[in-house]
Amino acid sequence: MNILSQDIMYLPGVGPNKKDVLNKELGVRTWGDLLEYYPYKYVDRSRIYAIHELQSDMPFVQIRGKILSFEEFEMSARKKRVVAHFSDGRGVVDLVWFSGAQYIYKTYKVGEDYIVFGRPTVYGGRFQFSHPEIERASELQLSEMGMQPYYITTEQMKKRNISSRAVEKMVKAMLQKIAEPIPETLPDFIVNARHLVSRDTALRCVHYPKNAIEMQKARERLKFEELFYVQLNILRYASDHRRKYRGYVFSQVGDDFHRFYSENLRFELTGAQKRVVHEIRDDMRSGRQMNRLLQGDVGSGKTLVALMTMLIALGNGYQACIMAPTEILAEQHFATIQEFLRGLDIRVELLTGQVKGKRRQEVLDALIAGEVKILVGTHAVLEDPVRFQRLGVAVIDEQHRFGVAQRARLWAKGENPPHILVMTATPIPRTLAMTIYGDLDVSIIDELPPGRKPVQTIHKYDSQMTSLYAGIRQQIRLGRQVYIVYPLITESEKSDLKNLEEGYAALCDIFPEFKISKVHGKMKSKEKDAEMQKFVSGETQILVATTVIEVGVNVPNASVMVILDSQRFGLSQLHQLRGRVGRGADQSYCILVTTYKLSAETSKRIDIMCETNDGFRIAEADLKLRGPGDLEGTQQSGIAFDLKIADIARDGQIMAIAREEAQKIIDADPTCTSPEYAMLWRRLRELRDTNVNWAAIS
Ligand code: ADP
Ligand code: MG
């Protein structure tokens, strides 16, 4: 049996108790799993400082010497401070503890040779280390000490005495027992071409690097490998798909498109819109099925691109559909598209949960008969027994969760899969897009239609509400409308809802002269739509809402977005909400109201929002601040995100190289059958078998 698949129970010092914790907390079951439990940081312990070398701005350092004596200081009736005077023969420092006196006296002895590790600070004219790590010098095998690895440990682990140090010892014991070289999992030609260290070296060094360079090389190799297999999996899938399904060839643009373009369109397309339409046009006549992700900031005019895409399908004798995440949005698209197509003889129908009974049957019948050319609906169109006669293009709006599995459902709707255009205003940084949508091509609209005034973003504290209300009143008197958004966080939905209800009541008192709508997730969708509709039509001036208004809704007359408790929102959410205003010609405002005390991270979020309207900058910042696992939608995307070592936010370059190598392999062996690459395919299968998330794409 492969030593790496041995149960960790059989590792010295583990046993059934610790095994359980490691299983539950880390998913670590085998030696191999533990080997892939990588340190999250390292501290250089290769050097021992003399006490007289210490400086006040040093990070963690270690010194070696003996305790001369202990001393105690009363801090209060029940608290004392224990100080050990510690010397290396040439200088003296104080080791300080504010608790645990008994343990200290029991463990540390005067005159014993110790290595002390900590951050030196100056106190009373002398260096001190508070709560330092102390080890007997004889136990440390100094010659072997290089970079010390630090492992993430959970509360449960700590309770069972599995500290980072304990993990370190387990890994060390294990590595000593693995005498044979750990098998290579990348082909030689890649290892050589990319100057990677072997898997054996990498796995040993990642836990025990002698120096920073060794650590770097080990981590680079492991990151590469991880991203390489992610990309190989995606690209294999995409290639497989391409071979199985042809794409409809739309050889012409068609009359509908031309008539729309020359007669109905009242404005110039932006340069970016033109470019994207060309890209889409090229996809659709290539014979390959289009799988394109269209990213464009809110208000950049994606709907129009979608419409023109659909018209190309119509021009070639096919039908098209566009799906939105909510009924309100679907209705809006329906209205917009009808308006755009006025005077053209194209039947457009709406299909949402609201369309019922006989009416629904009519739409469905006309759809299968091919009379309905464009179907507008919610994502429920996917689930419903909705049959097209010849579906040529499907557009999915505002849905970055639209992963592979959902797309697959669409393919079942025709003889060939329709061309697919996924649109999102949540800009996904390139490296992330490559991973979530690795098999998608990406188009970007990076230009807003002319004449838009950038939204002005202002930060206010909740102590400044009076002046805020005055500003709102002034805007409404100018004929504008205002959104006021309350946070809604699932854990405490009830109290949040109360928050919103109370806020609504208070606003009714503050603004008796205005009409106010209220929308939240707990309302029935019919009720919600009715309230929303009142705001859209201008009957109400203020819309009090939770984040249900986040995506897509278009009320050009609304010029103020007030976000209460902004500190509780993520960056991309704030940006999405802000995108609801700034759609008309007037100057718009986004007011971020926060509590007075803010964490450093929250301050950063608010600052970025006030500084820029650029969705891509915001998305990058978001990814850096939160990490990809948190990005809305990535969890459900159907692609592995439990990366063990690579970091999508930071390892973009490695990802690009990994993808390049993976692409070469797929090009050389598109059917994944060549014996030359057998090892790669075997490894990929192994990874898919052990990784739940990976299975979703297979
Ligand atoms: P989003 O990309 O957020 O979906 P929309 O498609 O809703 O943006 O477009 C926002 C507004 O801009 C719409 O009212 C649309 O008619 C308008 N618009 C789109 N393209 C142009 C353009 N090239 N010139 C002027 N206005 C445009
Ligand atoms: Mg839109």
* Spans in the chain with pLDDT lower than 70: 1, 140-145, 382-384, 399-409, 411-414, 427, 429-431, 435-439, 488-498, 548-553, 626-642, 649, 691-698
> Can you name the CATH fold of 254-445?
Rossmann fold (3.40.50)
Closest-CA residue to 37 (of 162, 127, 140, 177):
162
* The ligand 1 atom nearest the CA atom of 451: 25
User: Cα–Cα distance between 340 and 327 in angstroms, integer?
Assistant: 20
Is the shortest distance between the CB of 270 and ligand 1 below 6 Å? yes
Q: What's the chain's Rg over C-alpha atoms? A: 31
Closest residue by CA, ligand 1 atom 19: 301
Is the shortest distance between the CB of 300 and ligand 1 below 6 Å? yes
Give Cβ neighbours of residue 300 (< 8 Å, ≥ 6 apart): 270, 272, 425, 445, 446, 447, 448, 449
Pocket test for ligand 1, best of 267, 268, 304, 551 (most atoms within 8 A of CB): 304
Assess contact for 256 and 346: CB atoms under 8 A.
yes
Is the shortest distance between the CB of 22 and ligand 1 below 6 Å? no
Is the shortest distance between the CB of 271 and ligand 1 below 6 Å? no
Is the shortest distance between the CB of 296 and ligand 1 below 6 Å? yes
Q: Which ligand places an atom closest to the C-alpha of 399?
A: 2
Query: For 18-51, what is each residue's pLDDT tens digit?
Result: 899 999 988 899 999 999 999 988 887 778 899 9
313 CA → ligand 2 middle, Å: 20
Q: Which CATH architecture has domain 456-612?
A: 3-Layer(aba) Sandwich (3.40)
User: Cα–Cα distance between 135 and 591 in angstroms, integer?
Assistant: 54
Assess contact for 218 and 209: CB atoms under 8 A.
yes
Assess contact for 293 and 437: CB atoms under 8 A.
yes
User: Cα–Cα distance between 231 and 658 in angstroms, integer?
Assistant: 7
| Per-residue pLDDT, 688 | 82
Q: Which ligand places an atom closest to the C-alpha of 329?
A: 2
Is the shortest distance between the CB of 386 and ligand 1 below 6 Å? no
**Which top CATH class is 47-145?**
mainly beta
- Tally of CB atoms within 10 A around 136: 12
Please give, one letter per residue, the 3-state secondary structure of 619-658. HHHHHHHHCHHHCCCCHHHCCCCCCCCCCCCCCHHHHHHH
User: Cα–Cα distance between 513 and 555 in angstroms, integer?
Assistant: 21
Domains 47-145 and 254-445 share a fold: no
Average pLDDT of every residue of the chain: 86
| Per-residue pLDDT, 656 | 86
Identify the three-state secondary structure at position 240: helix
Is the shortest distance between the CB of 153 and ligand 1 below 6 Å? no
Assess contact for 520 and 548: CB atoms under 8 A.
yes
* The ligand 1 atom nearest the CA atom of 397: 4
**Strands, DSSP E only, in 335-428?**
348-351, 374-378, 391-397, 419-424
User: Cα–Cα distance between 405 and 468 in angstroms, integer?
Assistant: 46
Torsion of CA 541, 546, 547, 551, to 10 degrees: -40
User: Cα–Cα distance between 362 and 349 in angstroms, integer?
Assistant: 10
How far lies 696's CA from each of 33, 243, 401, 405, in Å?
Answer: 21, 20, 14, 7
| Per-residue pLDDT, 615 | 83
Give Cβ neighbours of residue 362 (< 8 Å, ≥ 6 apart): none
103 CA → ligand 2 middle, Å: 63
Helix H or strand E encompassing 95: strand 92-97
User: Cα–Cα distance between 93 and 65 in angstroms, integer?
Assistant: 10
**Strands, DSSP E only, in 221-341?**
291-296, 319-324
Domain ranges of the chain: 1-41+160-180, 47-145, 254-445, 456-612
> 126: which 2 tokens?
């002398």
| Per-residue pLDDT, 333 | 92
- How many helices, marked H, and strands, marked E, lie in the chain? 25, 22
